[in-house]
Amino acid sequence: MAPSELVSAAPARRHELIAGDFARRVHGVRDWSAPAPVPGWTATDVVAHLVDWLRGFVASGSDVRLPDVPPPAEQPAAAWNAHQRAVQELLDDPAAADSGFANPHTGSMPLAQAIDRFYTTDVFMHTWDLARATSQDDTLDPELCAVLLTGMEPIDDLLRESGQYGPKVPVPDDADAQTRMLGFIGRDPGWQVATAR
């Protein structure tokens, strides 16, 4: 995968790449109870968050309903596998992907664009959480990290007020794009499992 492909890809392809990358971490987990970099979360909670919130998000602004999947709190890997397939099938279906989505928080846009903008980028960022929690490779695509950071910085106050991001974590000015993005969204890039036990 070329580093720039995640930036230039259409929503269905970007989801395929990012969700597939997350799935590789899911399948590498040996301890689902391991603490995650999000305070109070475990590795299981990272998956449960991604599975659960998208279902409500899609239903909040469209006629599309994602199918039921195994309970992520009990079967995180099975839940992710089923959820990933369902989202990919939705994005690969032109009728569903192009259907309308609207809610007061996002405005109106095609459903695929809403999923791409709000969910797929969330999967990308939470890939680091799951990887770091479970001592796997936590390297993220640097070009997409830089693009996301550039897009978030001008709406810093809005993001903090949403409650979805913690306080920024200071990082060196010359830090790489991944480190700067993680610090911006409230993650400590130096977090290790041992520090949470």
Residue among 39, 165, 40, 62 nearest 109 (CA) = 62
pTM, entire model: 0.92
Give ∠ CA 148-17-182 in degrees, rounded to 5.
30
Q: Say whether pLDDT at 197 is over 50.
A: no
pLDDT at 101: 94
Show me where the domains of the chain are located.
1-136, 141-190
Distance CA 110, CA 112 (A): 5
pLDDT tens digit string along 27-69?
A: 999 999 999 999 999 999 999 999 999 999 999 999 999 999 9
**Domain 1-136: homologous superfamily in CATH:** dinb family like domain (1.20.120.450)
